[in-house]
Amino acid sequence: MTKLIAVYYYQWLELILRIALGIKAYYANLKFFKSRLVTKSSKLKLYRTVIRPIVTYASETWVLKENIIKKLLGFERKFLRRIFGPMKENQIWRIKNNEELDELIKHENIVN
């Protein structure tokens, strides 16, 4: 039983480390992500080819428990909101909800 708990603990630590490395990769490319000259599709391609593989490296061996899935999806939504930004609706700015983000990435999230 203690071995099983230790395995889940080490997987959680690995996930936290991977997310921290993904955040570092984002800030290393911050000028690119903040630029208005770069299209949103190019930013999404950079996210999918640079940041997402860093976070999901060696994830084939992870046991995907509910808390790990929530953490990964939360991480992805955070970056997608940064990439796509807010939207103006009836003269009011608001952030995109999860369903709108899911449609923008065509239902290809980090867990699938």
Question: Could you tell me the pLDDT band of residue 20, with boundaries at 50, 70 and 90?
Answer: very high
Q: Which tens digits make up the pLDDT trace of 73-108?
A: 999 999 999 998 888 889 999 988 888 888 888 888
Q: What is the pTM of this model?
A: 0.83
Instruction: Report how far residue 47's alpha carbon sits from residue 42's, in angstroms, rounded to the nearest whole number.
Output: 9
Mean of pLDDT values over 44-70: 87
Contact 56, 110 (CB under 8 A): yes
Report the pLDDT value the prediction gives residue 1, as an integer from 0 to 100: 62
DSSP lists the bridge partners of residue 30 as none
Question: Could you tell me the pLDDT band of residue 109, with boundaries at 50, 70 and 90?
Answer: confident
Per domain, the residue ranges of the chain are: 2-104
